[in-house]
Amino acid sequence: MTKPALHLSTDEDGILTMAIDVPGQSMNVITPQLVADLAAALTRLKTEDGLKGAILTSAKSNGFMAGADLKNMTSLFDPGPDDSETDGRSKMARLFDAVYEINSLLRQLETCGKPIAAAVNGLALGGGLEFVLACHHRIVADNPSIKLGLPEVMVGIMPGAGGTQRLPRLMGVQPALLYLLQGKTMSPQEALGFGVVQELAPAEELLSRAKAWVKANPEGGVQPWDTKSFKFPGGVGAFNPGFVQTFMGASAMTMKATNRNLNGPPAILSAVYEGSQLPMDTALRVESKYFATLVADPQAYNMVRSLFISKQAAEKGARRPEGIPKAPIKKLAMLGAGLMGAGIAMVAAQAGIEVVLLDTTQEAAEKGKAYTADRLAKRKTDPAKAEAILARIHPTINYDDLKGADLVIEAVFESREIKANVTKAAETVLGPDVIFGSNTSTLPITGLAQAWTKPENFIGIHFFSPVDKMPLVEIIRGEKTGPAAIAKAMDFVAAIRKTPILVNDSRGFYTSRCFATYITEGLLLLAEGTGPALIENAGKHMGMPVGPLAVNDEVGLDLSLKVQNQTRADLGDAYVETPADKIIEKMNDLDRKGRKNGKGFYTYDTPKHLWSDLTSITGDLAATQPHPDAVKERLIYRQLVECARCFEEGVVETPQDADLGAIFGWGFMPHTGGPMSHMDTLGIANIVAILDRLTAEHGPRFTPPKLLRDMAKNHQKFYTP
């Protein structure tokens, strides 16, 4: 027998309590069972004379509702072919009906004629908040940690259960757009101030307060927007100056922020603009129209899959070896207190892990600890909490202090010799049975593991800078790395609440190797005489966080030179020099190291701007500049072909890891869902044709691997249905 998702109970006053408790889910989400149960409950509420009103709440203690069950939305993203034999309706007609179902249900809830109060005992996001907004009276537990919001735009979709219509009618169009377009959350106190909720109450009083309101308001089953006297906060309409100015500004700022790459924000703007000037019943259909249009585009599914489904699966241990018991990390030995080591120490200490932060001098070790103190101060962390975090970090120069550590992470200079020295010194104290992780960004793990007696306990744990902000950790399996080391690394990443991907050993691994192609292609364009502003703007407009020159400055041109020299030394005669190498060498000769010393491809005066004398390094600009689309194409496809090569070589084994690593590791165009999703969407045969053309025009770095040719021939995709 199917377990209900909505538990119903009636008290002596005739008040129906509807408690959401979706079976098999740790957090309530919208499922077909919940929709069916709510529809049945509303029928009972409307037809049963003894029922005076209702309360909508959650039976789960960890929150109200997290929204739609995105993992089970595949039927929406693929509703079948046009003119289905089952009912003769078009694909879009079936899609509209499917997405309108919940909108219709919540409209029935707010027009049932009886007062309904929401008693919100925790987090209410997305569809969870939309359920709340459809109730006539909203009471939230007075807990500042509770989050309320509509974050759908963050994963490529939009609110589809009335959020774009009810939120503006409660708080006004301008403030509502800030939350709808940015996916921001609000605290209960903020929601009260905006009029989104009417009451805050202690958690233990939520139900009694909700019942009191229902009893006191027998005629309260009418929403403000269903009365003749309703007026939008701030006003609406094409002749309202504030309304017109809001959309003029919002449209321009949205296009600037998204570079027209995201479908969600324009759909939200359109739904709010049109819907706010229409009766609610029509407005909800307008919202569903835009929601269906979004879902019909591959962008929505690609983003939901990568940014939500794959990310959650990775964080829950999808790639963790089975059969190995979890063992909490209690003490971390952090070798190196530079920028990376200090950042790793900080996130570990925040997770409750004791950290021994070792460097060559006590001053350097103390400076590493001070990094955490500075960051916590800037964030205005509670002093008691900050003190507890700092107390877990123990700066030292003495290897004996590492005793008792159950995990070692090394983050010293990118020098094979230096890394080997600290690895051996740590093993002398700890023994080879402790798992050793190297934070190298480019040096092959298999070679570094030779300095550890048990290479099966040696693994790459590659963080990104700044560690406390970047969400990804790339776990690198060397040739002899064992499952215990992988499990330990995964457990550590879970403890510090970051997203792991698992890749195999290779020079540059996956993220650094593919990310480098974006930078290098930008440098090659520069060497050809392409205007630096054109290169940078093309990079940003195609959806990368910054242009290739700016990101090179952030990484550090001195680090680029070190990696370049180490690679040249390792490969010997096999190393192929390019004009990009010369640019990096010349910039370092001029002591232009990037942001770290205030001068690189950019000059970091106020405001930051491209170095005006850059042509002294690269030569004069070409008389004829390439079209921006041609620049974008080179920057995109150079990354795509390298990602495909990594997949062919087994450096990255799953499209999920490839897409997560690209988006969260180097910021690859999130609107595409990642490089593998993007290639699937564009079509592998089309990708091969474009790469063949680029190879003929620009050289063998664009040559498609055999994998892509075989996939094109066999009509395959990276993601199988």
Cα distances from 299 to residues 95, 294, 307, in angstroms, run: 16, 8, 12
CB-based contact 299:462 (threshold 8 Å):
no
* Token pair listed for 561: 């030179």
Q: Which residue has the tokens 């069916």?
A: 36
* Token pair listed for 674: 């990642």
3-state DSSP assignment of residue 331: strand
The candidate with the shortest Cα–Cα distance to 584, out of 568, 570, 569, 564, is 564
Q: How far is CA 187 from the centre of its chain?
A: 21
3-state DSSP assignment of residue 92: helix
The candidate with the shortest Cα–Cα distance to 458, out of 500, 495, 410, is 410
CB-based contact 622:524 (threshold 8 Å):
no
DSSP state of 705: P
How is 219-234 classified by DSSP, letter by letter?
Answer: T----GGGSTT---TT
The candidate with the shortest Cα–Cα distance to 15, out of 50, 54, 48, is 54
CB-based contact 353:330 (threshold 8 Å):
yes
The DSSP bridge partners found for residue 68 are 30
Active site residues: 130, 152
How is 671-702 classified by DSSP, letter by letter?
Answer: GGTSHHHHHHHH-HHHHHHHHHHHHHHH-GGG
How is 583-638 classified by DSSP, letter by letter?
Answer: HHHHHHHTT--BGGGTBSSEE-SSSPEE-TTTHHHH-SPPSSPPPHHHHHHHHHHH
Q: Residues with Cβ < 8 Å from 657, sequence gap 6 or more?
A: 314, 319, 501, 502, 503, 510
The candidate with the shortest Cα–Cα distance to 113, out of 175, 52, 179, is 52
Neighbour count for residue 581 (Cβ, 10 Å): 20
Q: Residues with Cβ < 8 Å from 501, sequence gap 6 or more?
A: 314, 319, 472, 473, 474, 475, 510, 652, 657, 660, 661, 665
* Token pair listed for 632: 């974008």
Q: How far is CA 291 from the centre of its chain?
A: 21
